[in-house]
Structure 1
């Protein structure tokens, strides 16, 4: 090459370039963290016009490329650590998680085979063993780290489907799907994550395969309706592949009654998967762990660590209660997980994952647990749940604000409902609340979610940030009211 070698390597030139690039980038991040705005406020059209690629024949060099990334990406990024950024299940990250990313990225280990990630493989296995202990599963290492909830839910549904066919003596892996596919069903609540439908479509069974179960006043799966739906399916000659329960619905943070659902599923020999992408944080909780009662009874579990575990994106996991079900997806490639390797006890994790090349995201959770300790971790998780209860009480006391439902995890659903719109019907109030959310983001001052609950358009605060206080939220709610008054007077 005519220019200096750009690859990270052991040479003095390479390590010096690496240190300079990391120093320049981290200095820019420190400066960005100090800006008072949550968002610089550029619209979609403005960003399209502003951001320009500059791929030249000779290249710009590291320093200039980083400067451009700072200008075009960093400066116009959403400040997820900002106390007024509460729209989504989108957490600020632990400092130690940032440090872990440096190690993950520099080493660039690939988690598909042991000879590409020796120490990383063992660390991930030990973390899976530990997570199973927290759940209450039997000892073992049946599980794997994933990109997040959607992938973990796909694994649970796919194994449930394949286990169902295996009980009938048929291998989906070898021979594909057979029979009347219109008769295959999955049950989940009305508030379950959309990835249930998305994944059933991906598996060739379509949205039609998903039967939605009614929910109660707290957005939890209704047990009576679940029992009726199971009985109705059996009466119609339909076959239920799985029930998907949720521990932490996206909006309400609702946790389905896991123990009762598990008992019903066991009675009918139906696979039970729990999407605990959000609620799994309570595995470490000192105050709210009992919300997950019965989770140890289910067949498979989705966990996410880039929500209320405060890890950088992406970081999730899938746990499988009975390791023998992994045989349903095992595939042997001579160059990755050969029979010879397995006979020697070499752990090649590609057998447990839908991915082949995969990041060592488990390092972030491991370093977080070691750095914080379980007590401090529990405190920052519990903070959000307790704060949501305090905020709900405050909202209920404000004349122009209405609490839409009592919080369960760390989200608060509410709406602005002024007296002057009382006679105008819900449509006018819904439109006003939508405009409030849009106006706050456009101004760069706040990011409040806009969603629907039981047909009511409302605003949502997802209180994941452990540095946010009740006073911060009071200021945000004051901003909501001020913005609403400006919209009404315009």
Structure 2
């Protein structure tokens, strides 16, 4: 029996080329079989089709057609973020150039836990993370798997910088990963500040910071630049001012809104970001990267020193003294793939203007959709979009009917919309991250919702 070909080395390109054709053909055939933004039939039907496609997970004899079959099945059963009617979540359609770069990362398979496994990748990561940190107004950044890891790491750095005595203060609009990170890290129960209009109430925050006793730096305020439900941005300059006055550390979760930095038209919405001690960024949202592409930027690189670990087989003292870079202080993880490559390729290929144009386009699409809703007598608009999220609901419909409309569209495979609860009402959520979305797509989405609403 011959050895299966490897993805790299002298035989790698020749082995990959026909396999890439197989993958691309299967992606296309699966998309055509799906026929819409997601598969019809609901969970049971999708699960049954996948079980049929997989058959025996670990057969005695291999199936040479497995690649085609399983890629086709996955594509047929996918929720495709490149379809304009797939608009529920912060789930972007990745750029082709970023996806191609990700293939190179997979083929070469560097692991960023020691320099001798990733000589070029480690230098590329250092260059790009530093530049992206400077973009936020901070000094350095590290790569993460996304907002959840970044937020947890931010609280860890705060805890260690203040010898364990920190308490999280955040709004009811904060991402769920922040209170969970406080729990995981053994921090006291967070202080939750109301956000009645979807953003932190400044008077309530001032009261909370005044009432909680403790030494300077013992409080960590987490603000949000792009909430998950409505894409709203907390009043960052005012929150930064309160933090400075009360001696609190400031973390800004900009996983959603951080991509606005690339846009000359919209970056002012992030004024105040530079005042943070740490900032969460996610370029697999408003950066059009394949998952995962997260970062945590830090104001003081010395804070990262607490991540340092010593493992003789990875960063022996004599190796580091001889000049081999030590990578174990750049992450909570050991084995890490070079996610920085796709980010670097995208930044270099599109430049600031290219990425900014994509940001401007999806923000414009969201405003256009909001206008369409506002002028339609059958719908109610929550508010003008801050970024590219639009909340709306059938006028006069009870919450149960709004939820049922969403599930009906999902089950029929017609459209993927999210849900959000604000003002004690349930709203349909369209998160518009596809820059190719056109006016006809928006009208079609609204017509689908209208047709699925009970009379």
Shared fold (TM-score, shorter chain, > 0.5): yes
**Residue aligning to 1:424:** none
Structure 1 residues 239 and 9, CA gap change in structure 2 (3 angstroms): closer
Match of 1:234 among 206, 209, 213: 213
Q: Tell me the SS of whatever aligns to 1:378.
A: helix
Structure 1 residues 341 and 259, CA gap change in structure 2 (3 angstroms): farther
Q: Is the Cα contact below 8 Å between 1:282 and 1:289 reproduced in 2?
A: yes
| Worse-superposed segment, 106-115 or 237-246 | 237-246
* C-alpha separation in 2, matches of 1:9 and 1:374: 32
**Residue aligning to 1:426:** none
Q: Tell me the SS of whatever aligns to 1:335.
A: helix
Q: Is the Cα contact below 8 Å between 1:233 and 1:239 reproduced in 2?
A: no
- How far residue 221 of structure 1 moved from its aligned partner, in angstroms, is 1.2
**Residue aligning to 1:425:** none
**Residue aligning to 2:178:** 196
- How far residue 214 of structure 1 moved from its aligned partner, in angstroms, is 1.6
Alignment pair present for 1:59 and 2:62: yes
Match of 2:367 among 389, 407, 430: 389
How large is the Cα RMSD of the aligned pairs?
Answer: 2.1
* C-alpha separation in 2, matches of 1:345 and 1:260: 45
- How far residue 400 of structure 1 moved from its aligned partner, in angstroms, is 1.3
Alignment pair present for 1:20 and 2:18: yes
Deviations 1:76-127 (A, max 9, x none): 1112100101111000110101111110110001011111111111111111
- How far residue 231 of structure 1 moved from its aligned partner, in angstroms, is 1.2
- How far residue 154 of structure 1 moved from its aligned partner, in angstroms, is 0.6
* C-alpha separation in 1, matches of 2:445 and 2:4: 50
Q: Tell me the SS of whatever aligns to 2:355.
A: helix
| Worse-superposed segment, 399-408 or 242-251 | 399-408
Structure 1 residues 343 and 155, CA gap change in structure 2 (3 angstroms): same
**Unpaired runs of at least 5, structure 2:** none
**Residue aligning to 1:152:** 150
**Residue aligning to 2:128:** 127
**Residue aligning to 1:39:** 38
Deviations 1:278-329 (A, max 9, x none): 1110110110100010111110111001001110111111111101111222
* C-alpha separation in 2, matches of 1:82 and 1:474: 14
Q: How does 1:197-216 map to 2 (within 5 A)?
A: 197-205=179-187, 209-216=189-196
Q: Is the Cα contact below 8 Å between 1:80 and 1:90 reproduced in 2?
A: yes
* C-alpha separation in 1, matches of 2:98 and 2:234: 30
**Residue aligning to 1:473:** 442
Q: Is the Cα contact below 8 Å between 1:277 and 1:304 reproduced in 2?
A: yes
Q: Is the Cα contact below 8 Å between 2:86 and 2:416 reproduced in 1?
A: yes
Q: Tell me the SS of whatever aligns to 1:46.
A: helix
Q: Tell me the SS of whatever aligns to 1:327.
A: helix
Structure 1 residues 332 and 284, CA gap change in structure 2 (3 angstroms): same
- How far residue 34 of structure 1 moved from its aligned partner, in angstroms, is 5.3
Q: Is the Cα contact below 8 Å between 2:369 and 2:390 reproduced in 1?
A: yes
* C-alpha separation in 2, matches of 1:256 and 1:324: 28
Q: Tell me the SS of whatever aligns to 2:251.
A: strand
* C-alpha separation in 2, matches of 1:204 and 1:470: 49
Deviations 1:18-38 (A, max 9, x none): 322222112222444556411
* C-alpha separation in 2, matches of 1:73 and 1:28: 9
Match of 1:357 among 310, 331, 335: 335
**Unpaired runs of at least 5, structure 1:** 166-171, 173-180, 422-428
Q: How does 1:433-472 map to 2 (within 5 A)?
A: 433-472=402-441
Q: Is the Cα contact below 8 Å between 2:216 and 2:247 reproduced in 1?
A: no
Length, aligned pairs only: 450
Structure 1 residues 430 and 69, CA gap change in structure 2 (3 angstroms): same
**Residue aligning to 2:159:** 161
